[in-house]
Amino acid sequence: MAAKQTLEAQNPLILRCNRLMEAFAKSDDERDFYLDRLEGFLIYVDLDKPDDELQLLEKELEKNSDRYCMIPKLTFYETKKIMEGFINEKVYDIDTKEKLLDIIQSKEARENFLEFIYDHHSELEKWQAFYQERSRIRIIEWLRVNNFNFVFEEDLDFPKLLLEKLKKELFQSKVGKDILNARKALIAKAKTYYSNEALNPRPKRGRPPKQTQKTEIEPQITTDIYTTVPNGLRGFLFIPDLTGSAASTFSSKFGTEEALFSSRRSISDNDLSMESINQKLAALRSLSSKWREAEEAKKPTEYSQEDSFDEELSSEASLNGYPSSANSRGVRLQETKKSKAKPPAKTSTSPSKKAPKKEEKKKPALKAASKSKAPPKAASEKKTKGLRPMMKLKKKIKS
């Protein structure tokens, strides 16, 4: 153990910022994380492990307390401050801003906040960039306070093989030229994390570049190489495979983005059932409203005198065999139209023989004749009676 304690790293520690973000987000009252000063590996105190392993872990942490630095807990005040900063600085829509402010004040604010952000894709990209920037600044501040000589692997442009060589030969002083040059570059890069710009990044000045489609490049992730991990700590190494953005790690409940998506799917299934129930309730409400409107429309007309009088007439007409008031009105209109369409009948005044025959035929059909037509018939009969003796005299003379 004494030989291991005298070891010194020949170049700054190569740390992964995404893993540190994960550890900082999940560190709470029930979970403890430690960062190794010698090689930079992370330890997660998993209480589900057997008691024998937990005892070995406690002994190692107590014995080499200077080597392992405990990662601070993320308090509720800090999480709320991060969310409020995002809402005030990056959210421009008033409705979404009010909704997010209400979510922050509710229970399980972090989980509900993330679920709302993932439902709104326009805010998701802004949240990922904001969260990475704020958590990066927080991690750099903590590393500077604890005097870590470090470099983030995500900020390096070295080839994958060269980085793996640097990890293998971390404690070796005699190395090749390629590794010596790489170490010099790492030392220069490590100094930038202790500058003021690391905590307060300045916006780029000048004309903004043209907007082009972002080409997604898969980050080159090297293998984890640690040579000084004690045997009692190997089961507690914290090595999550984080290749993409670590925005979902803001929640202590959801370990990965897949867990967050699965929870959202289950919620969406429940929402579907609730939506069907709400639709049925809305249909019932619409029916009840229609019934109420019908009843209200009937109330002012029930006590009107005209409608009651029409109803009495229609009832009496139906009893006597006549059409109702509505039908009688239609019949009257039809009769008036027919009377207008038919021309008046012509009256014959010439004394012809055919005329009396027609009148004789009509006499049995007409049961009651009017008194105004009787006098002209009597006059025509008197004329015919006076002509008969004259006709007889003419016949005698001819004979």
DSSP per-residue string spanning 172-212: -S---HHHHHHHHHHHHHHHHTTSHHHHSPPPPPSSPPPP-
> Which helix H or strand E contains 272, and what residues bound it?
helix 257-298
- The whole-angstrom separation of Cα 270 and Cα 310 is 58
Pull the structure tokens for residue 116. Answer: 């709302």
Report pLDDT for 308. 52
35 phi, psi to nearest 5 deg: -115, 130
Report pLDDT for 364. 47
Cα dihedral across residues 335, 341, 342, 346: positive or negative: positive
Cα 135 to chain centroid distance, Å, stands at 29
DSSP per-residue string spanning 230-249: -GGGGGGB------S--GGG
DSSP per-residue string spanning 12-39: -EEE-HHHHHHHHHH-SSS-EEEEESSS
- The whole-angstrom separation of Cα 58 and Cα 62 is 6
389 phi, psi to nearest 5 deg: -65, -30
DSSP per-residue string spanning 118-137: HH-HHHHHHHHHHHHHHHHH
- The whole-angstrom separation of Cα 166 and Cα 227 is 12
Report pLDDT for 302. 46
> Which helix H or strand E contains 259, and what residues bound it?
helix 257-298
Neighbours of 259 (CB within 10 A): 13
Taking each helix axis as running N to C, give the angle between helix 177-192 and helix 160-168, from 0 to 180 degrees, rounded to the nearest 10: 90
> Which helix H or strand E contains 45, and what residues bound it?
strand 42-45
Q: What is the CA radius of gyration of the chain?
A: 53
Report pLDDT for 247. 45
- The whole-angstrom separation of Cα 258 and Cα 244 is 12
Report pLDDT for 350. 45
Pull the structure tokens for residue 382. Answer: 């008197």
Under DSSP, is residue 68 helix (H, G, I), strand (E, B) or coil? strand
The pairs formed by 166-171 with CB atoms below 8 angstroms and a separation of 24 or more are 166/11, 166/14, 167/14, 167/222, 167/225, 168/225, 168/227, 169/10, 170/9, 170/10, 170/11, 170/39, 170/227, 171/7, 171/8, 171/9, 171/10, 171/227
CB distance 132 to 90 below 8 Å: no
Strand partners, 369: none
The pTM for the full model equals 0.61
Per-residue pLDDT of the chain (399 residues; tens, 9 = 90+): 444 457 889 999 999 999 999 999 888 888 899 999 999 999 999 999 999 999 999 999 999 999 999 999 888 888 889 999 999 999 998 999 999 999 998 888 888 898 889 888 888 889 988 998 999 999 999 999 999 999 999 999 999 999 999 999 999 989 999 999 999 999 999 999 998 888 877 666 656 556 555 555 555 678 889 999 998 899 999 988 765 554 445 665 555 555 555 555 554 455 456 666 777 777 777 777 777 777 777 665 544 444 554 555 555 555 555 555 445 555 455 555 555 555 555 544 444 444 444 444 444 444 444 444 445 544 455 455 556 666 767 676 766
Is beta strand 32-36 parallel, antiparallel or unpaired with respect to 42-45?
A: antiparallel
